[in-house]
Structure 1
């Protein structure tokens, strides 16, 4: 039931049918109230300098947009960096240091899947999860970081930062609850919009490819993968951040008669120790030099 509801909501927000479109119009009064509250909150917020350079990679809509691979690509280019994020889907609360830049200090259930991706793919970065992003930034500074990458930090208007915003388009242009947008770019808010295929491009490769792969994934809007998929024997979608069990994956392999399960790296970090034959649909980004120039100029104080 939970999976059905999640996928229904994703369709409602991004690919609404006629009924869902009518429903979104009925919610417009609530949307106006929501937008007013968020705008007032923004206008009443004072910006605080936490004494360390912070670069936020965010987007305006709910759901996946490529923040994790972009943050990964950017963080790999710099020294003495930390990555701070909320840690959606983790089974813990509060602040946790996932990696100190030398070793991983917790398991994926404590960190959440996205934080574990950073810990594995950017091994020299400090990785911290915290609902209170400012506490994570303070901890990163205390641990010696010189630059913080803030995952999904646009709405944290109280934090002095460079806002890099991934431009995600939707057929539904409304804010919540009528549409997928959490906020708009408010007047007076300085951001740098980044567009896929202009500011960054995806490069996809498959590790351990087999002839009979069953796709299994728990990412937001999994249909985004369709343009990158090889031929697969079946597709199995779970709600975003779902923690798999070994038994359910073994059942998928048996029912599909698959030689391996094709998963994203976000899925891999949760199942890598299950002893199941895994193929990884992995993603790297080729980032245009202008994005690094934006960061460099910000760090030097030219922005």
Structure 2
């Protein structure tokens, strides 16, 4: 691996130059960014996947939906449609992407749309929906839109200051891009993270005086949901099949092991579209289970792609929780939206 990283390092230098020039042109208004009168919050990261954008977006939805008309705009990664789509009940994950469909299915009082052209997407939402606030999913590098508030996520065990640019590392742009953030959230932290380590991380990130830093963790719901029934994670006494199509399932694997759940893991790439061959393979593994129920467990994101294709399919919900200063984060977000 080290040899490969060394060999592709020249490409990382070229990539750095390209992204640096692009950001410079946006910073100097040579390339134009569109601002909007409506509050726009962009959530994203500097690295490729796995930082917990989906639970962070859902946290913001829960925080704001009672007081504001919320819309979520995503590009709809790996969808088979093009252009602007306002998600409705007829759409599938193939039509609009798994995460947008998950947001739509889970929260009845919000509007969800997809458009690779975020500027056009916002204009369409303003015309068709007239929301009070728009959440931009995975839009930190989408500089054609100038959001009013930027939330940058970085994973606890893979901080952007310890990473390198693509293809040597996993950074989409240089760590200098973190300066655009209003808030930085260190995600997927361990429960036992102490104050001294928080201070150490804050020092390493070298925040600007105007930036705020928060620490969050992922929590799993032990109440599993299926198409027609529900069950408790603690009731799974026999081996199950675990199916994941997410960037980094390590946290989930560790959680299930801590809960003494015996499972066979079928791992697929992030946002994977499950083919007939994939479904056949999953069913084959399911048939090998010794229990009568033959449970298949998956993530919430994968469930929207697998629903209706497998029997005894359940998903495990996750949500984002702050280790400290949650009230401060909530206040800062609401203050921006109210402004």
TM-score (norm 2): 0.76
Indicate the residue corresponding to 1:13 in structure 2. Answer: none
Offset of 1:297 from its aligned partner? Answer: 2.5
1:192 to 183, 187, 192: 183
1:232 aligns with 2:262: yes
Secondary structure, in 3 states, of the residue corresponding to 1:269?
helix
Q: Partners in 2 of 1:186 and 1:192 — Cα distance? A: 13
1:56 to 39, 42, 45: 42
Q: Partners in 1 of 2:179 and 2:250 — Cα distance? A: 35
Q: Partners in 2 of 1:105 and 1:128 — Cα distance? A: 14
Conservation of the 8 A alpha-carbon contact between 1:199 and 1:291 = no
Q: Partners in 2 of 1:289 and 1:188 — Cα distance? A: 24
Q: Partners in 2 of 1:190 and 1:64 — Cα distance? A: 19
Indicate the residue corresponding to 1:44 in structure 2. Answer: 25
1:250 aligns with 2:283: yes
Extract unaligned runs of 5+ from structure 1: 1-19
Offset of 1:300 from its aligned partner? Answer: 3.6
Offset of 1:240 from its aligned partner? Answer: 1.2
Q: Partners in 2 of 1:247 and 1:272 — Cα distance? A: 15
Indicate the residue corresponding to 1:98 in structure 2. Answer: 87
Q: Partners in 2 of 1:254 and 1:241 — Cα distance? A: 25
Which deviates more, 59-68 or 24-33?
24-33
Secondary structure, in 3 states, of the residue corresponding to 1:88?
coil
Higher relative contact order (CA 8 A, sep 6+): 1
Summarize the alignment of residues 158-177 of structure 1 with structure 2, pairs less than 5 Å apart: 158-161=144-147, 162-168=149-155, 169-170=157-158, 173-177=163-167
> Cα 1:107–1:44, aligned 2, differ >3 Å: closer, same or farther?
same
Q: Which has the larger radius of gyration?
A: 2
CA RMSD of aligned residues (A): 2.0
1:221 aligns with 2:221: no
Secondary structure, in 3 states, of the residue corresponding to 1:170?
coil
Q: Deviations over 1:5-56 (max 9, x none)?
A: xxxxxxxxxxxxxxx1221122222111111111111111233212221101
Extract unaligned runs of 5+ from structure 2: 190-213, 225-230
Indicate the residue corresponding to 1:277 in structure 2. Answer: 312
Q: Deviations over 1:61-85 (max 9, x none)?
A: 1122110011011112222111011
Offset of 1:201 from its aligned partner? Answer: 2.7
Secondary structure, in 3 states, of the residue corresponding to 1:194?
strand
Offset of 1:188 from its aligned partner? Answer: 5.5
1:291 to 329, 334, 337: 329
Offset of 1:194 from its aligned partner? Answer: 0.6
1:68 to 54, 70, 81: 54
